[in-house]
Structure 1
Amino acid sequence: MVFDFVAGLRTHFGAKACTVVALSTYPYALRAVPVYMDVVCTSYGCHFRLAVSTEGPTSELDYPTATQDCITPTATTTINSDPATNLITAPELQSSSTPPDVSDRRTKRATWAILFLSFFIADVSAGLGPFLGVFLQEHGWGPGLIGTVSTTGGVVAMLLTAPMGALIDATTYKRSLAAASTIICMGANVLIFLSPSATELVFVAQIIVAAAGVALMPVMVALTLGVARQKGFHTLNGRVQAVNHAGNMAEAGLGAILGSRFGMGAVFYLSWAFGLVTLVSIALIPAGAVDHQAARGLEKTNAGRGGQAAATDQQDHQSQPQTHPHPQELGEEHAKAWKMLIQCKELLVLGAALLAFHLGNAAVLPLYGQAVVAAHKAEPASFTGVTVVVAQGTMVIMSLAASRLAVLHGVGYWPIILVSFCSLPVRTVLAGTFIESWGVWPVQVLDGIGAGLQSVATPGSVAQVLSHSGRVNVGLGAVMTCQGVGASLSPVLAGWIAQEKGYNISLYVMGVFPMVSIALWVGFIKILRKPNLQSEQESE
């Protein structure tokens, strides 16, 4: 009778018609249990589903609309029969506790919220960035001491990166962690603003910024992975990184304008404004849209995408060991991170290459800005802002290009990272030779090429290597720790060389370290060159 009714609908409405019919409290099979049925007629044919319900549909959300892809258009629909009740149920309803249309809306909202968050969070996680060096230079700090305070913060970040990755893997309160870190960073910037001449206080504040900010970018990667899952991660991560660089560019441009007009103190107010919007963006991410299993690199293949997110999120919040990780467990995860780094040759080579690269790269931007300002070739705030705007604008383009090349065109991440390594030696030669205001263009375009490519390729490579391991954030934390070692040592090394030998020599020396990265990357090509990523469209 039911099948005759469905066939009649198809005959009556035609192949191109699309409608939804719900039959409530329809007695079916051997038991008079109320059920409801949705019938969708599309150009692909007539599809329907039956679901057990003791009350029938209770709201509009129980019914799909004609424009929603609640049922995949196929020639036939597989129907499961429950032997316990002799009732027919639809497999897609069994696998999800959340209606597909609701979960899809929640996923879209989470995606937009993450993009907004990535736009504003960069300024918070980096503190004042290159503006800090110029700000302290105005208050009598020398290049050596400026490099030392930057290195101090970098060392703290380096020590906390791997444990923070373990914490992010273990906790389901990722949004709360991001919000707390943002508030702490904002408070530490207040200390620097109020007492720039108090050396000890500035050091303490920079340590606080580093300790809190180290969680922000890894938790961003985890949220992206938790919302997009492994299949959609590489594409969404490319967009997130592009928006992140655009946020850096906007903050730097506004900082340059406000700093040149009202003084460097205006940059602090801008940073606090970005921090407040960051908190709002975090609050806009629906908790149910984040699959905490997928966020750590695990996938459940027997469930739908949207519904499983809500189910997993609810289960994870009910799981006390994951929600409240014990310090001993975090210590074990930290040890596992280093064990994973040592045992996994791909991660070990990647970490060593990034260490050498950032040992030369991290100091170039602030050092070049200080060199031009010290030579009286540019106004401090405006020039520093231009250096960031040029670099971040290039990073936006390169991060999108990296995502497209790696995923859609199947290039993979190995050549992308190699190009990023090759950009630094050329950049340091130009920076050491042309300490002029116009030199910011070639120097910072090359900076954007290297950093933009790595912002996508580094987390993408780790996620690819550790796919289905459940340790993506731990592994990423270990790799980022290696990167942090180089980045933390770079400012103090370059700063004291500049103070003793001059800015030119210091910049030239920074160009030696990426040659080590290139040698490692090319020398271990056999273990690094994995099969290319397939197109997400093909895999889906």
Structure 2
Amino acid sequence: MVGVQTGAETRQPSETSLKALDWANFFLADVRDGLGPYLSIYLLTAQHWSAQNIGLAMSIMGISTVVAQTPAGALVDRTSRKRLYSILASLLIASASLLTIVLPTFGIIIGGQIAMGVAAAWFTPAIAALTLGLVGHRKFDGRVGRNETFNHAGNVFAALMAGLIGYYVSTKGIFVLLAVMSLVSSATIWRIREEDIDHELARGCDAKAEGENPKGWQAILGDRVIILFALACVLFHFANAAMLPLLGQRLAEGNAAGASSAYMSACIIVAQVVMVPVSNWAGKLAPRGRKQLLLVGFAVLPIRGILYTLTNHPDLLIAIQVLDGIGAGIFGVMSVLVVADLTQGSGLFNTTQGAIATAVGLGASLSNAFAGGIVQRLGYNAAFLALGAIALVALLVLWFFVPETNKSDRPL
């Protein structure tokens, strides 16, 4: 499905829309990921939930996101109301976050996590579509790198604020922070001018191609490269998803809730600080080839799994998160660009993103259960080594079976 670049995309969106896209990525950083590990700390220390109920609450958002991911991508491809639905998704997350601390009953919290999961499924394809619809394929590489740079900077800000609020105020303040960032993200999305968005281009169609129908689902399912790339992504995230929660649990042993929140924030901040320059660098180097950069991102994950087994010192364990920043920074940029390469001209850019994200989400969800079972029986080191072995398989699939996808004639 790799398309041929045309000259149809010399787009000139307004500076207002481009700056709004920057800040939307910054403030959506915390919003689209939800409460993450902070929720488990709040439910354990403030609400005194059982481990079983905490596990359910932690899993339900991810399950909801997985279920909603493909329909969300398909809706992004079909609708011209991308800004409106993005704002509604942000407001839904803000409402669910506040209800979690105002009415902390089992039903409200579980319902709120489901709502957050459905809303979070919208943002990744929506932001990618708005970006492509604003700048076109010619400038997409650099712009995706810039998006990820602002996204990771927003994650650093949110993690720093969450750590300070959780340590000096209370874990409830973290939920208020999420609600505020949701509201601010709504305002920034609304500032993207509707007239600057080409909705046909946003779904991967050639803006000037007439009389061509978008390819159907069989084009995705029958494309060997898409399937193999999806497999590599699933294995990568299966290996990656459980590493940070396991590290957080290891660091939290014997510590109070405030200290646990601070350690978790430190882990997140180290990785996100590294992701800021890495994402920018990846976006600039992307026109020279996707695969070689992806191989670097995949290669650091098995190394990270091994290094976690070599020390118990908190400072060293947190420092190893630098590798998480390198891997995730590269993957966040390159994965979007590879899908854009493979679906160019199909009209299924966001649908394909959603389908791959669904598969990745399933892998990530199973990762925590898989790693938890190993920890229960064999300990943390065995879990990290098992995850590292799966990461190595992901690297081999990418290396041997996924070709370079950047086959256009775009000038560097």
Structure 1-normalised TM-score? 0.69
Partner residue of 1:418? 295
Partner residue of 2:67? 159
Partner residue of 1:379? 259
Shift of 1:230: 1.1
Query: Are residues 443 and 514 of structure 1, via their aligned partners in 2, closer, same or farther at CA, if it must alter by over 3 Å?
Result: same
Shift of 1:440: 3.9
1:107-186 to 2 correspondences below 5 Å:
107-138=14-45, 139-141=47-49, 146-186=54-94
Shift of 1:185: 1.1
SS in 2 for 1:231: coil
1:197-216 to 2 correspondences below 5 Å:
198-216=105-123
**Are the equivalent residues in 2 in contact too, given 1:166–1:474 (CA < 8 A)?**
yes
Write the deviation string for residues 257-280 of structure 1: whole angstroms up to 9, x where unpaired: 121110211111111111111011
> Counterparts of 1:201 and 1:510 in 2: how far apart (Å)?
34
Write the deviation string for residues 358-403 of structure 1: whole angstroms up to 9, x where unpaired: 1121111122112111143991121111111111111111111111
Structure with a larger share of its residues in strand: 1
> Counterparts of 1:151 and 1:491 in 2: how far apart (Å)?
9
Percent same amino acid at aligned positions? 30
SS in 2 for 1:529: coil
Write the deviation string for residues 195-224 of structure 1: whole angstroms up to 9, x where unpaired: 55x445433322211111110121000000
Work out which structure has the larger RCO, using CA pairs closer than 8 Å and 6 or more positions apart in sequence: 2
Partner residue of 1:367? 246
> Counterparts of 1:531 and 1:413 in 2: how far apart (Å)?
7
**Are the equivalent residues in 1 in contact too, given 2:97–2:176 (CA < 8 A)?**
no
Partner residue of 2:404? 529
- Structure of larger gyration radius: 1
Query: Of 276, 286, 290, which residue of structure 1 is paired with 2:183?
Result: 276
> Counterparts of 1:427 and 1:207 in 2: how far apart (Å)?
32
Partner residue of 1:346? 225
Write the deviation string for residues 229-286 of structure 1: whole angstroms up to 9, x where unpaired: 1111111111011100110111001111121110211111111111111011011111
Query: Of 322, 333, 341, which residue of structure 2 is paired with 1:445?
Result: 322
Shift of 1:467: 1.1
**Are the equivalent residues in 1 in contact too, given 2:270–2:319 (CA < 8 A)?**
no
Write the deviation string for residues 481-530 of structure 1: whole angstroms up to 9, x where unpaired: 121111121223223433444333333322222122112112214xx124
**Are the equivalent residues in 2 in contact too, given 1:143–1:498 (CA < 8 A)?**
no
Structure with a larger share of its residues in helix: 2
Write the deviation string for residues 396-452 of structure 1: whole angstroms up to 9, x where unpaired: 111111111112xx1x11111111111111112222343332034432111111111
Partner residue of 2:138? 231
SS in 2 for 1:511: helix
Kindly indicate whether residue 331 of structure 2 is the aligned counterpart of residue 454 of structure 1: yes
Kindly indicate whether residue 353 of structure 2 is the aligned counterpart of residue 476 of structure 1: yes
Residue identity opposite 1:529 in structure 2: E
User: Which piece of structure 1 moves more, 171-180 or 269-278?
Assistant: 269-278
**Are the equivalent residues in 2 in contact too, given 1:143–1:496 (CA < 8 A)?**
no
> Counterparts of 1:443 and 1:115 in 2: how far apart (Å)?
29
1:71-110 to 2 correspondences below 5 Å:
104=12, 107-110=14-17
Query: Are residues 434 and 535 of structure 1, via their aligned partners in 2, closer, same or farther at CA, if it must alter by over 3 Å?
Result: farther
Shift of 1:145: 5.2
Structure 2-normalised TM-score? 0.90
Partner residue of 2:276? 396
**Are the equivalent residues in 2 in contact too, given 1:235–1:404 (CA < 8 A)?**
yes
Task: Report the count of equivalent residues.
Answer: 399
Residue identity opposite 1:417 in structure 2: L
> Counterparts of 2:334 and 2:52 in 1: how far apart (Å)?
33
Task: Supply the RMSD in Å over aligned alpha carbons.
Answer: 2.5
Query: Are residues 299 and 533 of structure 1, via their aligned partners in 2, closer, same or farther at CA, if it must alter by over 3 Å?
Result: closer
Partner residue of 2:372? 495
Query: Are residues 133 and 340 of structure 1, via their aligned partners in 2, closer, same or farther at CA, if it must alter by over 3 Å?
Result: farther
Shift of 1:342: 2.2
Gaps of 5+ in 2: 1-7
> Counterparts of 2:152 and 2:82 in 1: how far apart (Å)?
22
Partner residue of 2:4? none
Q: Which runs of 4+ in 1 moved over 6 A?
A: none
